[in-house]
Chain A
Amino acid sequence: MKIVVAYKWTRDPEEASARPDGTVDWSRAKPGLSTYDPVAIEVARQLAAETGAELIGVTVGDKGVGTPLACKAALGRGLDRVVTVEDGSLADAGRSELAAVLAEVIKHIGDVDLVVTGDSSMDVAAKMVPTVLAGELGWPAVAEVTSVTGKAGELRVGREIPGGAQVLEISGPAVLATSADAAAPRVPGMKDLLAAGKKPVEHLDLAALKVSPQNAVMTVTGRSLPERKVRKGQLIDTADPAQAADELLTALRQAGAL
């Protein structure tokens, strides 16, 4: 059995800021493994440990995603090897383009039984790359996955649905997007990180993958800051809670909020 974890090496918008012209300043944001990807790796690692599957990390993106630092950060969490596609032309790639590249990498690896991803990427957070990837592969996708057991061809998948949970049986290959709290990721120790440096890394050339082109071209024609309401920013003295409460209610009634 082969399990692929598709992960992202990217930056956190909490560390970015928007300039007045609507462009985004990332200069203070350090790249790292996307927040929820360690959860995906942990879910996949546990399944791999039970089934003896090979666990392969895949990432595609801009310059930097294939650096030793980035690969070790992923490998240190228990992947057996990683396959990367690092290309400057992917810096501004849309969800569909990234999914199409990932699909070609998965075909290149061959005989993949399962693709596991995180809940969402920390930068774009569209939650769409796994679903377009499944569409490209012609596989089913399931999101909000909380558990995976069984083996290839006989997977039992727990997932959350609005208002509850379900158990699914999946008889073929699939793409599973884990929920943000599907597993508690392990923090890699020094031994894991040292071992990570010795694990195989394969860098694929984007042009050689022959990714079929998209039918849509996106052109950014303008950037701006979102309109935000101007907040009053009034602080109410809380030395006497009862008085503070009265003052708050008066203000809220004046604002028509009560």
Chain B
Amino acid sequence: MSVNAWIIVGDQPTVGNLVTVARSLGGTVGAVVAGPRSVAEIVASSGVDKVVWCNAPDDVPAEANATALADAVAADPPRVVLAGRNPGERVLLGAAAARLKAAVLTGARSVAVEGDGVVVVNAVFGDIADETVAVSGPVALLLDGGSAPSGDGASVPIEEVSAPPLGVRVVETRTHGFDQVDLNAAHRVIGVGRGLKSKEDLALIEALAVAVGAEIACTRPVAEGLNWMGKDRYIGSSGARIAPQLYLAIGVSGQLQHMVGVTGAETIVAINSDPNAAVFKETDHGLVGDLYQLVPAITAALK
């Protein structure tokens, strides 16, 4: 048996993984784009069968086209709706799920068609357990979007629907000044936790990152409470989930909600002054000691 799928897209054409999952279900794959026309054009070359674009004024954010997007999805109701883990896509997926009265799952490790149903292995409660869920009826899945298509594939035509916007207008946009990063593309990642005493001390970490060839990431409080880095750099159940060759946890206590983001790492190293830190339960190589001595020593040894 095969089932049809809709992929939901907002402002970013990062749909590679969504197309792969949708294609594996064996039916037709459509994409509906609530963001700019330029995004719809890229998605049209991603390997989908059709693209619907919600045409709205430029100052309307993608989320404000949620009703038009839900209408487009409901006009050709699928068994599976997929979206990537961005705030805008979450809103659009919610609108589609409400319209379809669909089940919503956000921790899918695998999706398969079995008999009349869709079977999802779904991680629950901070990934401490997996549930195999058989869904009869429509299901909306929030997944890692994956990368954007290269754009050199054959394009399908773009169908246009007019979107009566929901009374939301963008009046100001500014960048936060942090460099954006794709942690999933990095082979080595250094994660910084609250064990680092000040933002200036990030220089130590940056020197190590250069020496080891790593991207810098962090725990949630470092990005959110301390605001030392952009939020796209925090790792954990509600942040990035990565599977690099090497993860170096520096001054990271090792809370569950952080560590589930690195379970896929090939090798994990931890540096922490507290020998009882939870992080040492999930490391390959642990160094109990002062990061202010150990980090420069490792940087020096790499040179």
A contact residues vs B (CB 8 Å cutoff)? 13-14, 16-18, 22-24, 94-96, 99-100, 119-120, 123-128, 130-136, 138-144, 156, 159-172, 174, 179-181, 212-226, 228-229, 231-236, 238, 241-242, 244-246, 248-249, 251-252, 255-258
A257 in contact with B256 (CB, 8 Å) = no
Given contacts A174-B168, A219-B135, A252-B267, 10 further A-B contacts (CB under 8 A): A95-B104, A127-B106, A141-B63, A181-B224, A216-B103, A224-B132, A235-B287, A236-B287, A241-B296, A257-B267
Mark interface residues in B279-303 (1 if CB within 8 Å of A CB, else 0): 0111111111100011011101110
B282 in contact with A160 (CB, 8 Å) = no
Closest 3 CB pairs of A and B: A131-B94, A135-B98, A216-B137
B152 to chain A, nearest CB (A): 25
The docked-state distance in angstroms from the alpha carbon of A23 to that of B188 is 34
The docked-state distance in angstroms from the alpha carbon of A140 to that of B60 is 11
A135 in contact with B167 (CB, 8 Å) = no
Residues of chain B within 8 A (CB-CB) of A139 are 166
Enumerate B102-117 residues with CB–CB distance to A below 8 Å. Answer: 102-107, 109
The docked-state distance in angstroms from the alpha carbon of A156 to that of B287 is 49
A136 in contact with B63 (CB, 8 Å) = no
The docked-state distance in angstroms from the alpha carbon of A133 to that of B95 is 8
The docked-state distance in angstroms from the alpha carbon of A163 to that of B125 is 28
- A contacts with B: majority SS: mixed
B142 to chain A, nearest CB (A): 7
Instruction: Name the one of A99, A163, A256 contacting B98, with C-beta atoms under 8 angstroms.
Output: A99
A231 in contact with B135 (CB, 8 Å) = no
B216 to chain A, nearest CB (A): 17
A166 in contact with B61 (CB, 8 Å) = yes
The docked-state distance in angstroms from the alpha carbon of A127 to that of B86 is 10
A10 to chain B, nearest CB (A): 10
Q: List 28 A-B contacts (CB under 8 A).
A: A13-B126, A14-B255, A18-B129, A22-B129, A99-B98, A126-B142, A130-B94, A132-B94, A134-B94, A135-B99, A138-B67, A143-B88, A143-B90, A161-B11, A162-B232, A163-B175, A163-B180, A181-B227, A215-B101, A216-B103, A226-B129, A232-B283, A233-B281, A244-B294, A245-B298, A245-B301, A252-B285, A255-B266
